[in-house]
Structures are given as C-alpha cells and as structure tokens.
Amino acid sequence: MAQPTTRNYYKILGVTQKTSKADLKKKYRELAKKYHPDTNSGSKQAEDKFKIISEAYEVLSNAKKRKAYDRERSYQKRAPRRPKGQPNWNNPPSGFGKDPGSNQQGYEEPFAQEPEPVDPDMPTSGFDLQFMVDVPLPVAALGGTIPYNYEKYVRCEECEGTGTQGSDECLVCQGKQLIVRSVTLDVKIPPGVADQYTLAFIKEGGEGRNGGPPGELFLKVCVQPHPKFKRIKNDIIHEVTISAKLAEEGGSLEVETLNGTTTIQVEEETLVGEELRILGEGAAINWGKKRGDLIIKFNIEEE
C-alpha cells in the first residue's frame, strides 16, 4: 500500500500559499492546542490528527522542506485524482453504541465542521465497533473460544483501497476505498469473565483510510442463562432432583459439572434444599488461577 504523500498540508492547517509565516504559526498553534492528546483524554484519533498537523507545520514552516513539498505536489496535480464527494462516514455499522470509556467517535464532529474542508487524502483511523457477544455459561466460567461474526469496513480489494480504477471512481466501493464485509473472528473468552464485562480486541475494528490505523472492537459479554447451572460469583449452583428412595436410603449419583460429569454420594435422609459442595468445580477465579465450587442442591421427587 505504499503511496506517495498526497496530503495537502495547506488545507490541513487551513492556510494558503500566501499566508504569512506569523499567521501560519498562529494557525498551527490553534490546531495543535485543539487536538493535543492531553486535551483529548488520550483519544487515538486526536493523536493521529495532532501528528499530521505537526507534520504539516514542520514542512510548511521550513523554507527548504516547503519548496521540495511544493514541487512534489505540482507533479502530483497532473496525475488523475478521484472525484470529490464525501461518503457518509458518520454511519458505520454499529452495535450497542454507548459504552462509557470507549466513545471516541464524537471526535469526528468538530473536525468535519471546520470551515476548510477536510483533506480526503488525510489518513483517518478506522471506526471503533461495539457489539454484544452471547457466551454460554460454561464458556464464561471456564474460558474458551467463540467464533464471532460481525460486519466492518475492510479495504476494497477491487481498487486495492485507492477508491479509483484508472481515472474513474471504483464502482465497487464508490470511491470510499472501503467496503462493508462480514468477518468472523475467533474470540477468546477469558476464564471466569463476568457478565457485562467488555472485552477489547485491538485493531479488529473498521479499517482506516489512507493508511490510517484500524479501529478497535469492543465486545460486551452477555452470559446466556443455562438450563441447569446458575452462577453466583464464582460458585455454580446445580439443582438436582432425586428420587424419594435415594433421598431416604442414600447412594451414588452421577451429576453434570461445567465440563463433564462426576459421581457424588447422596447421604441417607437427605432433605429438600440440602446442599453438597464439590470443591474446585466452579467458575474460574483470577482468570483461571483458582476455581470456585460446584454446589449441588437437592430437590426430591414427590411420590
């Protein structure tokens, strides 16, 4: 994807070739302040834009670098460019939307409303995506891998992410460089993960444009109710119905565990609601270092 630099440093800083050195500096300071990572709570998009603004100023404020840049640009102007017309980037495929701590998309707004239009060749980070993932209780308790299917922007293969085919706009992506594609990711569920926990998958979000980095994927864990097991913190409760005879006389019984079966001894004269604790057969603790218990709770069949 190596491409010559076509970034318009003048547009990025909102200046023209005739802007004075003092005004250039002033403009740069304004933008740098606005997009400084410190004032944007570490937003990655802000950081990217800050870097580009700094890069633009570094070139335009240096007579030698600026001359070389102007020369390069005048060559590139002769090359065919894809037609203007901004796709609607404010409509990414999205999931449950507002999760505190990961809403970085609000950032796009102020930049898009600048009086100077945003340079379409500017590298832009891909969208962060947020979805829910249904996780069976045993997988949440012990960890595992789930194939997760979702839609995201990927690079258009037809035009190799350029948005153009020859001198025309790419028909497949309509010049957007990206297309929406259904993808499947093998999602690793950490052992003992809590319901509603948000897992982050770095760079698995939407593809960036013009070489910008991809966004992240955030998956909120939704532990599915299980027909047999209930989870209370790290313990798993399993209600088992036994016959009145077994309750009275006692005996061995095979019961289901999170990952198999085990045989327990039912004591004589077991009463309804009595519990038997099987140590270390519950949900993982501390991402798998320890495990809670499996608690068998007895129901007794009516005679």
- Binding residues vs Zn ion (CB under 5 A): 156, 158-159, 170, 172-173
Minimum distance of Zn ion from residue 207's CB (angstroms): 12
Q: Are 258 and 138 in contact (CB under 8 A)?
A: yes
Q: Which helix (H) or strand (E) segment is 165 a member of?
A: strand 164-165
- For the CB of residue 108, give the shortest distance to Zn ion in the complex, in Å: 22
Residue 241 Cα distances to 19, 154, 255, 268, angstroms: 84, 52, 10, 15
- When the beta carbons of 182 and 259 are compared against Zn ion, the nearer one is 182
The residue behind tokens 């088992």 is 240
Q: Could you tell me how many helices (H) and strands (E) the chain has, helices first?
A: 7, 15
Cβ at position 172, least distance to Zn ion in Å: 5
Which amino acid type is present at position 137?
L
Closest distance to Zn ion from the beta carbon of 180 (Å): 12
Closest separation between CB of residue 39 and Zn ion, Å? 36
In the complex with Zn ion, the residue whose CB is nearer, 80 or 147, is: 80
The smaller minimum CB distance to Zn ion, of residues 108 and 158, is found at 158
Could you give the CA distance from residue 38 to residue 48 in angstroms, rounded to a whole number? 13
Nearest residue (CB) to Zn ion, 14 versus 87: 87
CA dist 136 → 201, 262, 278, 286 (Å)? 20, 21, 21, 19
43 or 210: CB nearest Zn ion: 210
